[in-house]
């Protein structure tokens, strides 16, 4: 019985040793699984973060392009407004220049018309003076003739007497 007990004890010890080894292996496997699970989770989080970063970069790129397009549009509109403003100013200057030219022409016409009127008035005065002079000459001649005639008539009467 002693050998049997010792065999049983030995078997029990082997079983306990085997259980301890199995438990240690189980613990190691659990730790490995736990580490792998943590690594997988970390990898997934990292993948998600990378995906989010890609999406953000894409969004930023799209937004930046939109902004550039808007800036380009705004600058184009500014240039067009400046160009239109320049054209309006140029047309305004042209209108003012034309108005000034027309005003100068009108003044010149008025000046010429006044000069012509003054010239006509002067000619009319000259003709009137000439007419008056001729009329005076004619009257003087007529008076002289009349005097001569009167003088002759008086002489003739004197001679008759």
**How confident is the model over 57-96, as pLDDT tens digits?**
999 999 999 999 999 999 999 999 999 999 999 999 999 9
Please give the full DSSP string across the chain, using - where no structure is assigned.
-HHHHHHHHHHHHHHHHHHHHHHHHHHHHHHHHHHHHHHHHHHHHHHHHHHHHHHHHHHHHHHHHHHHHHHHHHHHHHHHHHHHHHHHHHHHHHHHHHHHHHHHHHHHHHHHHHHHHHHHHHHHHHHHHHHHHHHHHHHHHHHHHHHHHHHHHHHHHHHH-
* CA dist., res. 38 & res. 27, Å (int): 16
Q: State the pLDDT at residue 4.
A: 67
* CA dist., res. 83 & res. 68, Å (int): 22
Mean pLDDT of the chain: 93
Q: State the pLDDT at residue 31.
A: 96
Closest CA to 64 of 33, 72, 53: 72
Give how far Cα 46 sits from Cα of 31, 32, 39, 56, Å.
Answer: 22, 20, 10, 15
The mean-pLDDT minimum among 30-34, 47-51, 134-138, 150-154 falls in: 150-154
Q: State the pLDDT at residue 3.
A: 64
Q: State the pLDDT at residue 108.
A: 97
Sign for the CA dihedral angle at 100, 101, 104, 110 comes to negative
pTM listed for this prediction: 0.42
Q: State the pLDDT at residue 161.
A: 66
- How large is the average pLDDT for residues 32-44? 96
- How large is the average pLDDT for residues 88-111? 98
For the cut 70, the answer to whether the pLDDT of residue 2 exceeds it is no
Q: State the pLDDT at residue 6.
A: 82
Q: State the pLDDT at residue 88.
A: 97
- How large is the average pLDDT for residues 44-56? 97
For the cut 60, the answer to whether the pLDDT of residue 52 exceeds it is yes
């Amino acid at each position: 019985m002693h050998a049997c007990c010792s065999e049983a004890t030995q078997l029990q010890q082997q079983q306990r040793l085997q259980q301890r080894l199995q438990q240690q292996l189980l613990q190691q496997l659990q730790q490995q699984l736990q580490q792998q699970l943590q690594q997988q989770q970390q990898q997934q989080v990292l993948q998600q973060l990378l995906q989010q970063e890609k999406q953000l970069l894409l969004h930023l790129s799209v937004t930046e392009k939109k902004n550039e397009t808007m800036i380009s549009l705004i600058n184009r509109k500014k240039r067009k407004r400046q160009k239109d403003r320049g054209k309006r100013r140029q047309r305004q200057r042209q209108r003012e220049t034309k108005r000034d030219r027309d005003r100068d022409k009108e003044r010149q016409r008025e000046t010429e018309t006044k000069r012509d009127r003054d010239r006509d008035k002067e000619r009319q005065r000259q003709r009137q003076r000439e007419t008056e002079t001729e009329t005076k000459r004619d009257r003087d001649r007529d008076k002289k003739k009349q005097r001569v005639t009167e003088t002759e008539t008086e002489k003739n009467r004197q001679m008759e007497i």
